[in-house]
Amino acid sequence: MTLRPTISSILLFCLLALIAPQAGTTESAAGKTVRVSPGGPLRSISDAIASASPGDEIIVEGPGVYNERVVVDKPLTITGEGRPVIDGGGSGTVVTINGEGTLFQGFRITGSGSHLSAEDAGVLVENAPGTTVNDNRLDDVLFGIYVKGSKGTVVSRNVVTGKDAPLPKRGDGIRLWYSSGTKILDNHVSHVRDVVIWWSSDTLLKGNVVEGGRYGLHYMSSNHNRFEDNEFKNNSVGGFLMYSVDIKFFRNKFTGNRGTGTGYGVGFKDLDSVVARDNVIADNRIGIFLDNSPYLIDAWNDINGNVIAYNDIGVSVMPSIRRNAFVGNNFTGNDEQVEVRGGGVLSGNIWSKDGRGNFWSDYVGYDEDGDGVGEIPYKAESLFESLVDKNPSLRIFAYSPASKALELASKAFPVIKPVPKLADEHPLVRPGVVIEPEGRTETPRGLLLASASMAILPLIFFGYTALGGHGGKH
């Protein structure tokens, strides 16, 4: 008689022990929450993932270092508290996310491998659509955040710093690969190779800063994308956009991008239906570069309301370029406002619309009726610029006494005056947005080239003969 209650109590105790949550684990209607800590009963992130079910939350406590490479193979919320460190030990990819809809946030990620062929990364999101990678700090990683085959991913508020390696041996800070519908928001990326968006349409980039790399932004075959309020500074190239349709970029800054042989603030290659508005493109070697853009015969590009200032060359184009509308832009203090590579005349493009053109800081006309529009057209007809367009090596003479004398000669002797490479029929006399050069003067080479005055007569003769001995008339 006395044994029955005792046996029942033992059975009840065993049953409760089986169903009770483990140490470090709590239950909720949405799934269980598992805590990982350096000194707790559960000390490995990988072990916590292995024991978790889809929809569970894992909280990793910091400060502390977790020396492991993590694979998230199911939809989870994984949050670092106190910025815990996941250290990959210099081998492979540190965190791989394969679980659709995973939220991964709050960590410092360091110590990826260094093999470009293996694409070693800090965080790899692969075949995991709807994933969010938020508020992480990544350093000493080859590739930073690599999103591959994962539509609708959000990459936000991360700081990515690449490995201390020569530029060609670095990986990309953020790379999208076949991951349409992704949002890249408020990240800071530095000391990497590129930020890459390839075969990823309908993406949004907003509020990012990219500096100290090769391409601040590199688009390829990615349509219907938008990027706005970003800053691309001190890279070899600010942005290079290729083989895409319907790209809109607003209120971005492209500054100090001066790579040898490139140095574009932003470049277009076979790009159609671009809308570029209210951007600041300043202090680059070349502000905007256009090559075969637009590509489609019925497409136009709209370059409107931008500040293109204090670049060595404001806009550089191939002579075959057509169907670009430049209206309402502020061309200020560029050493050469517009370059036509190889020489020629820019026909088939628009420089004014509805009675309003662009502001040109070297315009010498007047506004008689006070409507803000000059009474005479702006014409780009510098003889020295025309020679440089055909023979870029002559650029070394810019601002020298020789170049100044050549311009005076072309005005005095119309026989050597070139055909204008462009004409803005309605130039603006006020710049709208005004910016000041930072540590740059408009004549950086003049004082160094006083001796070039000896070249005045040869240059004049060369100018006359280069233009066919007939000035601008062909």
pLDDT tens digits, 52-96: 999 999 999 999 999 999 999 999 999 999 999 999 999 999 999
The proportion of the chain whose per-residue pLDDT surpasses 90, expressed as a percent, equals 73
- Give the span between the Cα atoms of 64 and 173, in whole angstroms: 25
For the whole model, what pTM was predicted? 0.85
For residue 128, how far is the Cα from the chain centroid?
25
For residue 58, how far is the Cα from the chain centroid?
34
Question: What does the DSSP assignment read for 37-92?
Answer: -TTSS---HHHHHHH--TT-EEEEESS-EE-S-EEE-S--EEEEES--EEE-TTSS
Strands 422-424 and 378-380: antiparallel
Helix (H, G, I), strand (E, B) or coil at 393: helix
Residue 91 inside a domain? The answer is yes
Q: How many domains does the chain have?
A: 2
Which CATH number is 173's domain given?
2.160.20.10
Note the pLDDT tens digit of each residue in 113-162: 999 999 999 999 999 999 999 999 999 999 999 999 999 999 999 999 99
The pLDDT value recorded for residue 261 is 86
Residue 9 inside a domain? The answer is no
Residue 209 inside a domain? The answer is yes
312 and 201 share one domain: no
Note the pLDDT tens digit of each residue in 308-342: 999 999 999 988 999 999 999 999 999 999 999 98
The range of the structural domain enclosing residue 404 comes to 305-474
Higher pLDDT, 7 or 289: 289
- Give the span between the Cα atoms of 207 and 226, in whole angstroms: 12
The pLDDT value recorded for residue 111 is 99
310 and 207 share one domain: no
Higher pLDDT, 412 or 108: 108
Residue 228 inside a domain? The answer is no
Domain boundary among 172, 193, 213: 213
Query: Which one, of 393, 356, 391, 351, lies nearest residue 372 by Cα?
Result: 356
332 and 196 share one domain: no
468 and 325 share one domain: yes
The pLDDT value recorded for residue 170 is 98
Residue 104 has pLDDT above 70, yes or no: yes
Q: Tell me which of 221-230, 309-318, 376-385 is least confident.
A: 376-385
Residue 12 inside a domain? The answer is no
Domain boundary among 163, 198, 213: 213
**In contact, 147 and 179? CB cutoff 8 Å:** yes
Residue 148 inside a domain? The answer is yes
- Give the span between the Cα atoms of 352 and 357, in whole angstroms: 4
- Please give the average per-residue pLDDT across 201-212, as a whole number: 99
Query: Which one, of 303, 197, 304, 281, lies nearest residue 244 by Cα?
Result: 197
Residue 185 inside a domain? The answer is yes
The secondary structure of 354-392, three-state, reads CCECCEECCCCCCCCCCCCECCCCEEECCHHHHHHHHCH
Domain boundary among 213, 241, 265: 213
The pLDDT value recorded for residue 342 is 87
